[in-house]
């Protein structure tokens, strides 16, 4: 990715597991530096690293931990010393960080950790020591319970182009929500916000997006705080779903329709062919999006300058080049 001069005031505050930043905080005093996070995302985000195991005083080097099921509950205990139970300490330390957690617009966690893992952390039987199922690490589970709407992802899943784009789109969108919220919400602001995200939402789930738009359009008599609460819940729930190629094609064709009186025969045929090649997986999403941006620049429509669909995150991140 080319070097980017992203303005400091635009940088988004993101929490991370300290070891992903290259800090030597793991049990063996090593780190798990994740260069995509620090080098690529680091050009747009400001990171707040935190190691829950160090924060509860375990130090380095230390005994490794694991999750075990005991009496129907999941506990985080020493791998060799099962009496060394740090479950409560990890939950408490997550709760104690709430004042800065609530400032964040996202969190990148270390996969597989009994403290930081977002999902698929093995839970063992206390009796047989065999794996039973998987769950979240203790700190991560408490963080997600306290902030269910915050975009949270693991560094391992950021290697998947669709999950990566989804997470980063949600981070930028959540930051936008926080900005309008801090400036003061009203029905007019919410309606404009929904209109800006309508096509983004449609690419994730068409039925839920239409239902959300319908509900918002009939909410003018409800208190704005209540509307904002259910709107944010559903808006983030839709964004969390994976966008599909089929839904993107529908949105692209819909946007193409706005240009039907502006393009000549050749331009129309080229746009139709580009969308068709995206549908077949021959071209990545960035190609029809770039072509649409080009046409809307030449034939501006009031809604396209406000719509987030054609640019929901910085182009330099090249997130649409691989999906
Ligand atoms: S995974 Fe979490 S607890 Fe483990 S070293 Fe990294 S930051 Fe610390």
Q: Per residue in 275-317, pLDDT tens?
A: 999 999 999 999 999 999 999 999 998 877 789 999 989 989 9
| Residue 212: pLDDT over 90 | yes
For ligand 1, whether the C-beta of 17 sits within 6 Å is yes
* Axis-axis angle for helices 206-217, 224-240 (nearest 10): 170
Query: What is the rounded average pLDDT of the residues 180-199?
Result: 96
Find the domain containing 213 and state its range: 161-323
Q: What is the pLDDT of residue 305?
A: 77
Among 114, 143, 159, where does a domain finish? 159
- Judged by DSSP in three states, 170 sits in helix
Query: 227 with 187: CB under 8 angstroms?
Result: yes
For ligand 1, whether the C-beta of 155 sits within 6 Å is no
Among 159, 178, 211, where does a domain finish? 159
Q: How far is the CA of 89 from the centre of ligand 1 (A)?
A: 14
Q: What is the pLDDT of residue 312?
A: 87
Q: Are 139 and 211 members of one domain?
A: no
Is 1 contained in some domain? no
Query: 243 with 277: CB under 8 angstroms?
Result: no
Q: How far is the CA of 171 from the centre of ligand 1 (A)?
A: 22
Q: Are 154 and 167 members of one domain?
A: no
pTM: 0.95
For ligand 1, whether the C-beta of 52 sits within 6 Å is yes
Q: Are 91 and 201 members of one domain?
A: no
Give me the number of domains the chain comprises: 2
- DSSP percent split of the chain into helix, strand, coil, nearest 5: 50, 15, 35
Among 99, 126, 159, where does a domain finish? 159
Q: Which atom of ligand 1 is nearest to the CA of 49?
A: 7
Q: Which atom of ligand 1 is nearest to the CA of 26?
A: 5
Q: Are 185 and 83 members of one domain?
A: no
Confidence of residue 1 (pLDDT cuts 50, 70, 90): low
Q: What is the pLDDT of residue 48?
A: 98
Q: Are 31 and 148 members of one domain?
A: yes
For ligand 1, whether the C-beta of 111 sits within 6 Å is no
What pLDDT digit, counting tens, does each position of 84-136 carry?
Answer: 999 999 999 999 999 999 999 999 999 999 999 999 999 999 889 899 999 99
What pLDDT digit, counting tens, does each position of 19-53 carry?
Answer: 999 999 999 999 999 999 999 999 999 999 999 99
């Amino acid at each position: 990715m080319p070097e980017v001069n992203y303005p400091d005031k635009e940088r988004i505050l993101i929490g991370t597991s300290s070891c992903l930043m290259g800090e030597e905080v793991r049990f063996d005093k090593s780190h798990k530096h994740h260069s995509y996070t620090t080098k690529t995302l680091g050009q747009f985000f400001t990171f707040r690293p935190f190691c829950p195991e160090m924060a509860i005083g375990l130090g380095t080097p230390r005994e490794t931990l694991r999750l075990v099921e005991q009496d129907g509950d999941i506990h985080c205990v020493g791998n060799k010393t099962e009496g060394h139970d740090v479950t409560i300490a990890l939950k408490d330390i997550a709760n104690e960080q709430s004042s800065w957690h609530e400032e964040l617009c996202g969190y990148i966690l270390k996969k597989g950790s009994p403290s930081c893992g977002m999902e698929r952390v093995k839970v063992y039987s206390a009796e047989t020591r065999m794996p039973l199922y998987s769950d979240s690490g203790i700190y991560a589970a408490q963080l997600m319970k306290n902030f269910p709407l915050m975009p949270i992802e693991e560094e391992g899943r950021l290697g998947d182009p669709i999950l990566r784009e989804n997470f980063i789109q949600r981070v930028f969108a959540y930051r936008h929500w926080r900005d309008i919220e801090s400036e003061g919400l009203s029905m007019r602001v919410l309606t404009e916000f929904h209109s800006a995200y309508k096509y983004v939402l449609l690419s994730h789930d068409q039925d839920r997006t239409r239902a959300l738009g319908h509900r918002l359009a009939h909410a003018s008599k409800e208190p704005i705080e209540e509307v904002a609460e259910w709107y944010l819940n559903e808006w983030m729930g839709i964004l969390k779903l994976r966008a599909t190629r089929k839904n993107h094609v529908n949105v692209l064709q819909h946007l193409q329709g706005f240009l039907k009186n502006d393009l000549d025969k050749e331009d129309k045929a080229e746009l139709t062919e580009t969308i068709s090649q995206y549908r077949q997986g021959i071209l990545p999403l960035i190609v029809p999006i770039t072509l649409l941006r080009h046409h809307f620049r030449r034939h501006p429509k009031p809604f396209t300058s406000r719509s987030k669909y054609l640019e929901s995150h910085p182009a330099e991140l090249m997130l649409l080049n691989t999906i």
